Structure 1
Amino acid sequence: MGKDDKEDSGFGFKDKAKAEETLRLLEEHDMNYRRLTVRGLLGRAKRVLSLTKAEDKRKNITEAMAVFEAWLADLDKNKEKKTDKKEGKEKESKEKESKERESKKEKENGDKDSESDVEMEDPAKEAKKKAPETVPGLGFKDKAAAESTLEELKGRDPDYQQLAIRGLVGRAKRVLTCTRDETKISNIKEALSIFDKFMDDFDTMHLGKQNNPYVSLGIVRTVLSKAEDVTDQQKAFIAAYSSVGGEYKRLRTVQEKEDGKTWDIVRNAALKELKEKHADAKLFNEKDEPTKEHIEMLLWAYSPEAARVKKLIPETKDEKDKKEENDRKRRSSGRDDESPSKRKKE
C-alpha cells in the first residue's frame, strides 16, 4: 500500500472493510484525534480517487469514504444534540440563579456567611487551584515564533503537538485574510512554511504512533498500592497526576522540581526508555495480573493494553476524593430539599 493509505498504522481507506476497521482502531484514542484522523483520511482518499482510473478500486475507495462521511455526520449530529442540551441547562441554571438572587435580597446581612453562599464560591476557588492545560509561548507571527513553538512542543504528546500546530495554522490563515501589511503577511507565511514541514514530517515519520495514552488515576492508584519497587520520580509523577485530579492535559504546565521540565515531557521520556527496554516483555501473568515490567509502565499511567487493563484492574479513589464526592452529594441533596418548588408543594 502507498503512504496515503497509512497501512503501517492500521488506518486506511482501500475499501469499506478497511474503513470500518479504522474506526474500530480509533476507539482507543480521544475524540479530537479520531475526528482529525478521519478527516485526514478522507482528504487523502479524495486525492487518490482523482488519480485512479481502475473502476473496482474507485468503487472500493468511494464506499470507504461513505463510511467516514457517515461517521462524521453522526458526530456532528451528536454535537448538535449536546449543544441543545447544554443551552437548555444553561437557561435553567440562569433562571435558578435569578431566583436565588431575589431570595438573597430578602435576607438580612447576617446571612452573608451562610452555607449556600460558601457553596456558590467553592467552584471558583477550586478552578483557581487547577493548573491550565494550554502550553504558553506558542505563536505564528514570524519564523522565530514558529521555531520557538516547535521547541516548546518538543517531547510532548504527539497528539497534542499535531493539534496545537493545526490550531495555529488555522489561526494564521484567518489572520492572513484580514491583513494588508506586506511585512506581516511575509512573516506569517514563513511561519506557515515551518509548520507545513512539521506536519509533513509528522505523517512521514508516523509520529502519531508514538503517542502514550493515559491510564486513569484510579487505576494508577490501585497499581501503586500493590507495587513493590517504585522510584522517587514515579511517586512524584503520581503526586502531580493526583494534584490535577487525573486531568492529564494539565500536566503540560505542572513542572517537575528536579529540572523544571513539565510532567508530560518527563513522562514521555521515561516511557520511551521503558518501551524500548520491555519491547518483548510479557504484560500479564497466568492470573491475569500485570507483570513487573508492565507495572513499571503503569506507574507512569500507561499500558500497551489499556483496554484490557481497564477491565482487569479496579479503580481506587483516595479519601479526599471520596470526601469531596460525598460532600457534593450532600450539598446537592440539601439544595433539593430547600428548593422553592419543594417548599411550594409542602
Structure 2
Amino acid sequence: MGKDEKEDSGFGFKDKAKAEETLKLLEQHDPNYRRLTVRGLLGRAKRVLSLTKAEDKIKNIKEAMAVFENWLAELDAGKEKKPDKKKEEKKAEKKEDKDSSSDVEMEDKEEKKLPADKVPGLGFKDKEAAEGTLKALEGRDPDYQQLAVKGLLGSAKRVLTCTRDETKLANIKEAMSILEKFLDDFDTNHLSKQNNAYLSLGIVRTAEKSAGDAVTEQQRAFIAAYSSVNGEYKRLRTVEEKEGGKTWDIVRNNALKDLKEKHADAKLFNEKDEPTAEHLELLLWAYSPEAAKVKKVVPETKEPKEDRKRKSSGGDETHSKKKKE
C-alpha cells in the first residue's frame, strides 16, 4: 500500500504543519484545483484514521484535517450566497456519478469558447461506473488520473453521509473500493514519476521553427491543437485528434512513450546549448527531460497578431468532444 499521508506532489496531511504547507503550495494553482485537492486529501485522511491505532498519529492527522476543514469553511463563507444544506444534499445525490467540482466561471469571453478541461463521464455510482471511469482515464497524464480519482472518492464519501438507500450505499461502496485500489496501485508503482510535464506553447513554437521540415504532420497537428486552447494543456483532454478519435493528451503520451525509449541515451544539447535533433523531437510534443534548462536557453516564440485575431473571430477549426450528460 502506498503512503497516504504524503503525496509525490508535496501535499499531505500527516500533521498541522504539513496541512499548512500544503495550502501554501496550492496558492499557485487555480481555485478549483485547490478546492478539489483539499477535499481529496480530507477523504484520504479519514481513510487513514480508520486504519491507524497510534494516538499521537491520530491527533496529528485530526489537527491537519481541522486546518483543511476551516479552509473549506472560509472558502464557502466567502460566496455571495450560502447554499442551503438540504438542497446541497439532494444535489449531491443527483450528481453522485459526476465529479463534484464545478468549473470555475470564466470572465473572459474568449476563454468561454475554449474546450472543457475535465474528462466527461467519470462517476462512482456503482462498480460499472468506477470501471468506466478508470477506462476513460487510461493513457492520460498520471497526475490528472490521481487527482480525478481522489476527487471522486471525496465526492462519494460526502454522498454516503446523505444516502439512506441500502442498495445505493452498497453500490457506491463497491465503486469506492475499486477507486481506492487504483490509488494504492498508483502509489506503489510510483506512476506519478511517469507524468510528462508540459512546456509552454512559446517554446514549442520555437522548436517547430528550429526543426523545419523534420516536423511530422502529427506533430504539426498537435501544435495546432495546443495553439487552439491558448497553451492551456488541461483542455487537450477534450480536444480530439481528427484521425483516430483519441484526445490529444492521450496521443501525446503515447508518442512520448516511444520517443523517450528511443532517445533514452541521446545527447540533448550541442556545444552551443542548442537542442539536438533528437531533443527537438521531444520538444515538439511540449516535453523535455531537462525542462528547467530548456526554459533558460530556448526563447519563446509568440503567436503572430494576425493569428490571434483570426482565432478570436471564430476562425479556429478545432474539434472537441461533446460533454456527456
TM-score, structure 1 normalization: 0.63
Aligned partner letter, 2:189: M
> Taking structure 1 as reference, are residues 285 and 30 closer, same or farther at Cα in structure 2, changes over 3 Å only?
farther
Q: Which has the higher contact order (CA 8 A, sep 6+)?
A: 2
Q: Give the conservation status (yes or no) of the 8 Å contact 2:2–2:184.
A: no
| In structure 2, distance between residues paired with 1:259 and 1:300 | 18
> Taking structure 1 as reference, are residues 184 and 321 closer, same or farther at Cα in structure 2, changes over 3 Å only?
farther
Task: Report whether the alignment pairs 1:147 with 2:131.
Answer: yes
| In structure 2, distance between residues paired with 1:50 and 1:266 | 45
1:261-272 pair list within 5 angstroms: 261-272=246-257
Aligned partner letter, 2:242: K
Q: Give the conservation status (yes or no) of the 8 Å contact 1:222–1:315.
A: yes
Aligned partner letter, 1:177: T
> Taking structure 1 as reference, are residues 163 and 322 closer, same or farther at Cα in structure 2, changes over 3 Å only?
same
1:1-346 pair list within 5 angstroms: 4=3, 123-124=108-109, 126-228=110-212, 229-320=214-305
Aligned partner letter, 1:140: F
- How far is the alpha carbon of 1:6 from its aligned partner? 11
Aligned partner letter, 1:144: E
Partner of 1:332: none
Describe the superposition over 1:84-131 as per-residue Cα deviations: whole angstroms up to 9, x where unpaired: 8x99xxxxxxxxxxxxxxxxxxxxxxxxxxxxxxxxxx943x244311
> Taking structure 1 as reference, are residues 243 and 153 closer, same or farther at Cα in structure 2, changes over 3 Å only?
same
Q: Give the conservation status (yes or no) of the 8 Å contact 2:140–2:250.
A: yes
> Taking structure 1 as reference, are residues 195 and 4 closer, same or farther at Cα in structure 2, changes over 3 Å only?
closer
> Taking structure 1 as reference, are residues 244 and 283 closer, same or farther at Cα in structure 2, changes over 3 Å only?
same
| In structure 2, distance between residues paired with 1:260 and 1:323 | 27
CA RMSD, Structure 1 to Structure 2 (Å): 4.4
> Taking structure 1 as reference, are residues 3 and 151 closer, same or farther at Cα in structure 2, changes over 3 Å only?
closer
Describe the superposition over 1:188-245 as per-residue Cα deviations: whole angstroms up to 9, x where unpaired: 0110010011000000111100100100001100110111311110000000000111
> Taking structure 1 as reference, are residues 265 and 322 closer, same or farther at Cα in structure 2, changes over 3 Å only?
closer
- How far is the alpha carbon of 1:10 from its aligned partner? 11
- How far is the alpha carbon of 1:157 from its aligned partner? 0.4
Structure 1 runs not aligned, ≥5 long: 14-18, 59-64, 88-121, 328-346
Q: Give the conservation status (yes or no) of the 8 Å contact 2:3–2:187.
A: no
> Taking structure 1 as reference, are residues 3 and 248 closer, same or farther at Cα in structure 2, changes over 3 Å only?
closer
Structure 2 runs not aligned, ≥5 long: 13-17, 81-106, 313-325
| In structure 2, distance between residues paired with 1:173 and 1:5 | 17
> Taking structure 1 as reference, are residues 280 and 313 closer, same or farther at Cα in structure 2, changes over 3 Å only?
same
> Taking structure 1 as reference, are residues 140 and 282 closer, same or farther at Cα in structure 2, changes over 3 Å only?
same
> Taking structure 1 as reference, are residues 188 and 3 closer, same or farther at Cα in structure 2, changes over 3 Å only?
closer
> Taking structure 1 as reference, are residues 184 and 323 closer, same or farther at Cα in structure 2, changes over 3 Å only?
closer
TM-score, structure 2 normalization: 0.66
Describe the superposition over 1:320-346 as per-residue Cα deviations: whole angstroms up to 9, x where unpaired: 37866xx9xxxxxxxxxxxxxxxxxxx
Aligned partner letter, 1:220: V
Larger helix percent? 1
| In structure 2, distance between residues paired with 1:180 and 1:50 | 29
> Taking structure 1 as reference, are residues 52 and 286 closer, same or farther at Cα in structure 2, changes over 3 Å only?
farther
Identical counterparts, % of pairs: 62
Q: Give the conservation status (yes or no) of the 8 Å contact 1:133–1:250.
A: yes
Aligned partner letter, 1:311: K
> Taking structure 1 as reference, are residues 183 and 5 closer, same or farther at Cα in structure 2, changes over 3 Å only?
closer
- How far is the alpha carbon of 1:316 from its aligned partner? 0.8
Q: Which has the larger radius of gyration?
A: 1
Q: Give the conservation status (yes or no) of the 8 Å contact 1:241–1:247.
A: yes
Aligned partner letter, 2:269: F
